[in-house]
Amino acid sequence: EDPIANMGAQMVKEVASKTADAAGDGTTTATVLAQAMVTAGLKNVAAGSNPMDLKRGIDKAVKAIVANLKEQSEQIGEDFNKIQQVAAISANNDETIGSLIADAMKRVTKDGVITVEEAKGTDTYVEEVIGMQFDRGYLSPYFITDAEKMVAEYENPYLLITDKKISNMQDLVPILEKSLQTGRPLLIIAEDVDSQALGVLVVNRLRAGLKVVAVKAPGFGDRRKAMLEDIAILTGGTVISEEQGYKLETAGLEHLGSCARITVDKDNTTIVDGKGKSEDIKARVNQIKQQIDATTSDYDREKLQERLAKLAGGVAVLYVGAATEVEMKEKKDRVDDALHATRAAIEEGIVAGGGVALVRAIDSLKSLKGINDDENYGIAIVRKALEAPIRIIAENAGIDGSVVFHKIADEKGSFGYNARTDKYEDLKKSGIIDPTKVTRIALENAASIAGLVLTTECVINEKPEKKAAAGHAHPGMGGMDMM
């Protein structure tokens, strides 16, 4: 209710949400570290320390710890046992979710896309979409070949790929005749197909048994052009584009793409086993990776990663099942957390969990010195804050935090306290591991917000408007207020 206290609470919430956005997990660690740094820092400020020097000391300490975490980090590559352990811990020790995410990763590799969707039943399972899939379905249900499944499926088809709107059927006739003479089906991917041209295709499909299906091109604007080029490279075809000097009416069979199979339903088109040259696909993948590294837009990065996955890794869908809507939301959130944490682990490796990695990082601060006493106090604030996670884990398990901390600090490596079993053991061997990225980002964000709080002179709050007191109504006035 207190607006000033609320501002402080919002800042701590920001630590958690920024950590979740960047690493998908580590919100509790970030909050605990921030609280420890702010509490100790404010005591120093009250005792006369310079807040700016404290902040500089905190920043120096964090830089040293991040370097130490990098040294502690163990790359997991494609060790699916470790991937399963990371996923299970991030999903609140749910072994089933851990196994499913490891299975999904195994199917699509690190470049693949894993999407999380709600299952129709109560079972949670993984399905792989082989090949490239994009979210455009058939332009008419009359193109279907399987009335029961409501899909159009063809083996060994040609693909006509164009960025043009097909409005004149005469433009399409030459290439249509050439492909029909081979006896192979044809998938048309175009910006759009005019109703008149679409009508002619449908009539020929129904009456003459023409093996054809038409879909709209995926994406919009420049992204559409790039995605059409991806499809062309994957299938060994050419984008029929007037910008590149190609015309639909003069296109030949050499301009068409090929694949083993296509499946088109009302929402999606799936191209399986495109016949493009592997060196061309590899070059395109590398080009997209360079664009991902160069972009500063999160949205563009996400879309580029989707394109990369479609070309390089495939797509796995993790269907989450639950009995109630509330359970579904909670389970889906856990799966999302686990998925983010797993990606983070593959990206930057893993460290011992249970707060042990931060305890081991304390040694990196022993020789670190600031340029004055207040900077040294800032370093000491961080050193003390690194103890907070392990102490809280122990206290939540009903054990004295100081005893646990000192016992772990006297040991080396991944030796730590397992709160689940109430035992001291090698946490990495027990599967209690954290993604390095999660630990790093939690620390960096906690230090950032602590520095902001300590260097803030004052806060300004908008003065709430006083509501005018309501007048009293006279008896018999129907509850109307006095003017």
Please write the tens of the pLDDT for every residue from 400-415. 999 999 999 999 999 9
Structure confidence at residue 477 (pLDDT) = 46
Would you state the pLDDT for residue 474? 53
pTM above 0.85, yes or no: no
Please, which pLDDT band fits residue 481 given cuts at 50, 70 and 90? Answer: very low
What's the domain range around 361? 3-74+352-454
Mean pLDDT, residues 388-398 = 92
- Write phi, then psi, for 448 (nearest 5 degrees): -60, -45
- CATH code, domain carrying 168: 3.50.7.10
Q: Which of 14-23, 39-48, 132-141, 166-175 has the lowest mean pLDDT?
A: 14-23
Tokens of 75: 């790359």
pLDDT mean over 92-118: 81
Do 231 and 146 fall within a single domain? yes
SS3 368: coil
Residue 220: phi, psi to the nearest 5?
-140, 150
Q: What is the CATH number of the domain that holds 335?
A: 3.30.260.10
Last residue of a domain, one of 306, 324, 348: 348
Same domain, 89 and 172: no
Residues 138 and 66 in one domain: no
The mean per-residue pLDDT over the stretch 426-446 comes to 90
| Overall domain count for the chain | 3
Above 80 in pLDDT, residue 466? no
Q: What is the largest CA-CA distance in the chain?
A: 93
What pLDDT is recorded for position 114? 77
Share the mean pLDDT of the chain.
86
DSSP character string of 173-213: HHHHHHHHHTT--EEEEESEE-HHHHHHHHHHHHHS---EE
The reply to whether 186 and 251 lie within a common domain is yes
> Could you tell me if 138 and 269 lie in one domain?
yes
Q: Residue 136 and residue 453: Cα distance in Å, rounded?
A: 49
Q: How far apart are the first and last CA of the chain?
A: 32
Q: Which residue has the tokens 């006095």?
A: 482
Mean pLDDT throughout 356-364?
94
CATH of the domain at 32: 1.10.560.10
Report the range of poorest mean pLDDT among 28-42, 65-79, 149-163, 264-278: 264-278
Is 267 found in the same domain as 184? yes
Residues 444 and 331 placed together within one structural domain of the fold = no
Say yes or no: 234 and 363 in one domain.
Answer: no
Q: How far apart are CA 206 and CA 52, in angstroms?
A: 77
Contact present, 15 and 23 (Cβ < 8 Å): no
Measured CA to CA, the distance from residue 395 to residue 9 in angstroms comes to 23
Tokens found for residue 106? 């195994």
Q: Which of 223, 256, 276 is the last residue of a domain?
A: 276
- Based on the number of CB atoms within 10 Å of its own CB, is 222 exposed (0-12), middle (13-18) or buried (19 or more)? exposed
CA 232, 238, 243, 248 dihedral sign is: negative
**Is 114 or 407 the better-scoring residue by pLDDT?**
407
Distance CA 263, CA 348 (A): 37
Whole-number percent of the chain with pLDDT over 70: 92
What is the reported pLDDT for 483? 39
Closest CA to 439 of 11, 9, 10, 22: 22
Tell me: pLDDT of 323 over 60. Answer: yes
Mean pLDDT of 140-158: 89
- The verdict on 30 and 126 lying in the same domain is no
Residue 188 placed within a domain: yes
| Confidence (pLDDT) at 345 | 86
405 or 474, higher pLDDT: 405
Pick 207 or 113 by higher pLDDT: 207
Is residue 379, in this structure, part of any structural domain at all?
A: yes
Q: How far apart are CA 308 and CA 305, in angstroms?
A: 5
Instruction: Answer whether residue 328 shows pLDDT above 80.
Output: yes
Identify whether residues 170 and 263 lie together within a single domain.
yes
Question: Per the domain annotation, does 62 fall within a domain?
Answer: yes
The more confident residue out of 468 and 112 is 112
Residue 169 lies in a domain: yes
Q: With a cut of 90, say whether residue 416 has pLDDT above it.
A: yes
DSSP code of residue 318: E
Residues 320 and 366 both lie in one domain = no
Note whether residue 483 is domain-resident.
no
What's the rounded mean pLDDT across residues 192-213?
A: 88
Q: Is residue 104 part of a domain?
A: yes
Contact 387, 405 (CB under 8 A): yes
Highest mean pLDDT: which of 197-201, 312-316, 339-343, 458-462?
197-201
Of 246, 276, 306, the last residue of a domain is 276
pLDDT at 360: 95
Between residues 228 and 477, the one the model is more confident about: 228
**Would 67 be classed as within a structural domain?**
yes
Do the Cβ atoms of 215 and 188 come closer than 8 Å? yes
CA pair distance 460, 4, nearest whole angstrom: 8
Task: Give a yes or no: residue 86 inside a domain.
Answer: yes
Residues 65 and 106 in one domain: no
